[in-house]
Structure 1
Amino acid sequence: MKAQISLLFCLLLMGFAYGFGNNPNPYKTKKQRNVIFILTDDHRYDYMGFTGKVPWLETPNMDKLANEGAYLPNTFVTTSLCSPSRASILTGRFSHSHTIVDNQAPDPGNLTYFPQYLQKAGYQTGFFGKWHMGDHGDDPQPGFTHWESFPGQGVYYNPTLNINGNRVAYKDSTYITDLLTEHALDWLDKRDKKKPFFMYLSHKAVHAGFQPARRHKGKYKGKRIDLPSTYDQTKTGEYRNLKWPQWVADQRTSWHGVDYMYHENRDLHEMVVDYCETLLGVDESVGSVMKYLKEEGLEESTLVIYMGDNGFSWGEHGLIDKRHFYEESVKVPLLVKCPELFEGGKKPLQMVQNIDIAPTILAEAGVKQPENMPGVSFIPILTGDEKTKAREEVFYEYYWEYDFPMTPTVFGMRTDNYKYIKYHGIWDRNELYDLKNDPEEMYNLIADPDKQEIAKSMSEAIYTWLEETNGMNIPLKRTVKYRFGDYKHKNEY
């Protein structure tokens, strides 16, 4: 009898240890890997030295990360806009699900960010940089044991950081990219070495208006890029033969058009130079992080992920900036390294989305993925797991903004072969592109008789996706706007 009681007692102890009863750490399911996630702003997928897109652009540290790790060239965001994309990264959900649909829409108050799960699993978590998710300020957010941020877009020089609730102002030409990197590495150095860590380094760069570090200013002065083949079509009227939407042509002389960029008469090549020089500080930041990991003996075991929050157009279709569903706007860089998991030099072509970041990190932390996250870990793509089914399509959504009414509401779907773009609330044509034969998206096939079944099936797939993910209702937000110059009486117009 005593032997039976002893056996039962042992089984109960094992049960508590493996997840039932009063388990102090019910989220842990396997080895907890250290993770560093570096996010940059408006960095398009091919503006890195190793891609060859811009022959004179040098990014040695990103090149090394890609060479020793992996570069996933077919990585997409669900919404090509700062706040919605960042919310999708943090929640693992689509914009219509988390409802932060633009840069002003507030957090609804019922969201859970994936670092919160890491915290419960025993991780020490640090956030450094640009939060800018909805209309939120710089206050510390759930899921982070250490917090350093600034309100909104922030500034490139002499920033003020909210450090765990205390605001600290920096002067003497302090550069934000350098400051965030320095503080992030200092936090890593002072961390509890007995606990796993997750570090989220979120750069302001390379958001407009671009300001490089003083040491990089002028490095690329006078350099020029090859203008895209679709640069002049909206200017010459050729877009009508190519069957592009009218709204694209109309944008040419708008805030997001090449003939009136940000309502300035600047030269596009000069602006690209500023962008690339600003990117150099980010590249050095990547190098500093990787150097620290190597010196501390953490390089082999730490999962490092570098990503952009959305892409950026430099003249394609006569446009700049983002928001639209063309490739250069929706594709982002994704560089990944972890020698313990996979060998370097990989360039898998499978499609990945920003909603896959949270599931990937949770899986490597040994944390069970919540049911409301539709994404999947992309690690099996890198390890060559043939049992994992490749993503067959990505979906896209963008909701019309009061502040930038030039771009309509967009719903889209992309496969390896085709892209379908559907517009809402505007009298204009939709778009269908054959990506294999027309990677620059020059010839809209929406009216092609041979492509009607493809267009119909993709349109129906978009509606099915929205129905299955509770996205059939556009999530409107209360965003009060005032008449120009009339802030005293706050009259909405």
Structure 2
Amino acid sequence: MNPELTTPALDQLAQEGVHFKNAFVTTSLCSPSRASILTGKYAHSHGIVDNLARDFAPDTRFFAQDLQAAGYKTAFIGKWHMGRHKDDPQPGFGHWISFSGQGHYLPDPNTPLNINGKHVPQKGYITDELTDYAVDWLESVKKDDNFFLFLSHKAVHDNFTPAERHKDLYEDVDIKLPVSANSSKGKDSKKPMWVQNQRNSWHGLEFPYHSDLDVRDYKRKYHRAMAAVDESTARIRSVLKEKGFDRDTIIIFMGDNGFMFGEHGLIDKRNAYEESMRVPLIVYSPLSETKPDTVDDMVANIDLAPTILDLAGVNVNREFHGRSFSQQLNGKSAANWRNELLYEYYWEWVFPHTPTTFAIRTPTHKFIQYHGIWDTDELYDLENDPREQHNLIADPKSNAIVRQLRKRIFELIAETDGEHAVPYTMKQGPGLHYRFKEGSEAAHFPEASKRTGTEKDIHRYKD
């Protein structure tokens, strides 16, 4: 799957299953993305727009509730991290193991595990321990049970901490910064000023997490932490085979957000760049009739709920913003499959460096529009510039597509229960504002962003 690291179990899963090459999240942030997986809806609809203490919108229903109502034995094991409920058992899951917030890689006396409403201490490395609990639950499943397991690992969330047995992996591997690392640096950069300025802030390459962290070594730790997740995958598949469940059990492996290690001069996630919103997605289905190796269609986290219900044969009487991609698993074309995907991110006071963002991605272009700041938007030709290094927003040749995509963002929000009201995040402090004192010079307005009075206004919908 990734030539930079060794993941034999995931590689095997991809070889035997279907690799969705263009899988995305609609918000690259833990809580909103996980909520979209569970509901099949955008963040502006389900109400979990940040990682703070928010409740789901009224009448929200998780797809696991539908499975449970249809007679499925269900379990949630791992990181929940949504809404006001810290670690309480949630609707739709008959068996529950979780922890408060992000949890910890290693035992912390202040963050026990919640096992079906009872708090117990974490005993060891969290990836291994969650896998142990998952294996135990699978062992309890009877031969004739229909079952659904949601194994939600903490890994590989930062601060990346590998298991002791993996602490020396990739020690001799030369990890390089990405080719786009300097695309937001210098007077000639056509990136927005907020991106240029963020290089020297919490989520920037030059002052990452307000520290002297070497991003290349940080990525090495990420790779090391991933090793236990790969081993977890192997263990789960092994117990399925031992139980005889491997012949009719569908396995879905997916991330809840992407991550940047210097791309565009940034780290972490939240923004609408490919490295932030793109995620791995592998689906293994022994029931597929004619399995393709890969699927190029754009799929998203909002598609998981309708897909899982479809594969389980559970019909529900409600609308999803996503669609089932079960047809693609059999190598078939789904009628009128999407050719555009909406992305949204809402400003957080705790991490004030990234503005509210709306974006639309098509197979050929991506348009990114920022809300609440005075700055330039972004347009990228994904066919000729897949790493999004050349912002075409000021190119007169782009006027028509900018108008078209800007209008479609507004329409897509309206079509998915949106009210064109940006959620308000109550500010409880100054946020993480610091900049590294040796690099505190503000970004410059590039010449291309300065008007001469002769430009056509590309920001109008009509000529």
Residues in 1 aligned to 2:330 and 2:139: alpha-carbon distance in whole angstroms: 30
Residues in 1 aligned to 2:430 and 2:407: alpha-carbon distance in whole angstroms: 40
Q: Does 1 or 2 have the higher relative contact order (CA < 8 Å, sep 6+)?
A: 1
Does 2:21 match 1:69? Answer: no
TM-score normalised by length of structure 1: 0.84
Aligned-partner SS, 2:408: helix
Matches within 5 A, 1:297-376: 297-343=244-290, 346-376=293-323
The answer as to whether partners of 1:305 and 1:335 remain within 8 angstroms in 2 is yes
Q: Evaluate the alpha carbon distance shift between residue 483 and residue 266 of structure 1 in structure 2; reply closer, same or farther with a 3 A threshold.
A: closer
Per-residue Cα deviation, 1:5-25 (whole angstroms, up to 9, x for no partner)? xxxxxxxxxxxxxxxxxxxxx
2:364 is aligned, of 401, 417, 421, to: 417
Aligned twin of 2:183: 233
2:333 is aligned, of 379, 383, 386, to: 386
Q: Evaluate the alpha carbon distance shift between residue 370 and residue 395 of structure 1 in structure 2; reply closer, same or farther with a 3 A threshold.
A: farther
Residues in 2 aligned to 1:272 and 1:223: alpha-carbon distance in whole angstroms: 11
Matches within 5 A, 1:31-430: 50-52=1-3, 54=4, 57-108=5-56, 109-158=58-107, 160-171=112-123, 174-239=124-189, 243-343=190-290, 346-386=293-333, 388-430=335-377
Q: What residue identity is the alignment partner of 2:78?
A: G
Residues in 2 aligned to 1:168 and 1:85: alpha-carbon distance in whole angstroms: 28
Residues in 2 aligned to 1:442 and 1:330: alpha-carbon distance in whole angstroms: 16
Instruction: Report the alpha carbon displacement of residue 105 of structure 1 after superposing the two structures with TM.
Output: 4.3
Q: Evaluate the alpha carbon distance shift between residue 300 and residue 389 of structure 1 in structure 2; reply closer, same or farther with a 3 A threshold.
A: farther
Instruction: Report the alpha carbon displacement of residue 73 of structure 1 after superposing the two structures with TM.
Output: 1.4
Residues in 2 aligned to 1:451 and 1:398: alpha-carbon distance in whole angstroms: 24
Per-residue Cα deviation, 1:171-200 (whole angstroms, up to 9, x for no partner)? 4xx110001011111101112433200000
Aligned-partner SS, 1:235: coil
Residues in 2 aligned to 1:274 and 1:333: alpha-carbon distance in whole angstroms: 19
Q: What residue identity is the alignment partner of 1:125?
A: T
Per-residue Cα deviation, 1:367-396 (whole angstroms, up to 9, x for no partner)? 114433121111211212235333211110
Instruction: Report the alpha carbon displacement of residue 437 of structure 1 after superposing the two structures with TM.
Output: 0.5
The answer as to whether partners of 2:80 and 2:101 remain within 8 angstroms in 1 is yes
Instruction: Report the alpha carbon displacement of residue 482 of structure 1 after superposing the two structures with TM.
Output: 4.7
Residues in 2 aligned to 1:192 and 1:339: alpha-carbon distance in whole angstroms: 20
Q: What residue identity is the alignment partner of 2:191?
A: W
Does 2:400 match 1:453? Answer: yes
Residues in 2 aligned to 1:224 and 1:126: alpha-carbon distance in whole angstroms: 40
Q: Evaluate the alpha carbon distance shift between residue 342 and residue 265 of structure 1 in structure 2; reply closer, same or farther with a 3 A threshold.
A: farther
Residues in 2 aligned to 1:284 and 1:458: alpha-carbon distance in whole angstroms: 43
The answer as to whether partners of 1:66 and 1:345 remain within 8 angstroms in 2 is no
Instruction: Report the alpha carbon displacement of residue 238 of structure 1 after superposing the two structures with TM.
Output: 3.4
Residues in 1 aligned to 2:348 and 2:10: alpha-carbon distance in whole angstroms: 34
Q: Evaluate the alpha carbon distance shift between residue 139 and residue 461 of structure 1 in structure 2; reply closer, same or farther with a 3 A threshold.
A: same
Residues in 1 aligned to 2:250 and 2:292: alpha-carbon distance in whole angstroms: 15
Instruction: Report the alpha carbon displacement of residue 474 of structure 1 after superposing the two structures with TM.
Output: 3.1
Residues in 2 aligned to 1:478 and 1:76: alpha-carbon distance in whole angstroms: 25
The answer as to whether partners of 1:346 and 1:382 remain within 8 angstroms in 2 is no
Residues in 2 aligned to 1:51 and 1:223: alpha-carbon distance in whole angstroms: 14
In the comparison of the two structures, how many residue pairs are matched?
Answer: 427
Instruction: Report the alpha carbon displacement of residue 310 of structure 1 after superposing the two structures with TM.
Output: 0.3
Aligned-partner SS, 2:295: coil
Residues in 2 aligned to 1:355 and 1:211: alpha-carbon distance in whole angstroms: 29
Aligned twin of 1:436: 383
Instruction: Report the alpha carbon displacement of residue 334 of structure 1 after superposing the two structures with TM.
Output: 0.2
Residues in 2 aligned to 1:265 and 1:126: alpha-carbon distance in whole angstroms: 41
Residues in 1 aligned to 2:131 and 2:410: alpha-carbon distance in whole angstroms: 43
Runs (5+) with no aligned partner, structure 1: 1-49, 485-493
The answer as to whether partners of 1:220 and 1:273 remain within 8 angstroms in 2 is yes
Q: What residue identity is the alignment partner of 1:195?
A: D
Instruction: Report the alpha carbon displacement of residue 131 of structure 1 after superposing the two structures with TM.
Output: 0.1
Q: What residue identity is the alignment partner of 1:366?
A: G
Instruction: Report the alpha carbon displacement of residue 264 of structure 1 after superposing the two structures with TM.
Output: 1.2
Aligned twin of 1:471: 418
Per-residue Cα deviation, 1:45-74 (whole angstroms, up to 9, x for no partner)? xxxxx343x2xx100011000000011110
The answer as to whether partners of 2:349 and 2:425 remain within 8 angstroms in 1 is no
Q: Evaluate the alpha carbon distance shift between residue 169 and residue 350 of structure 1 in structure 2; reply closer, same or farther with a 3 A threshold.
A: same
Runs (5+) with no aligned partner, structure 2: 432-463
Rg larger in structure: 1
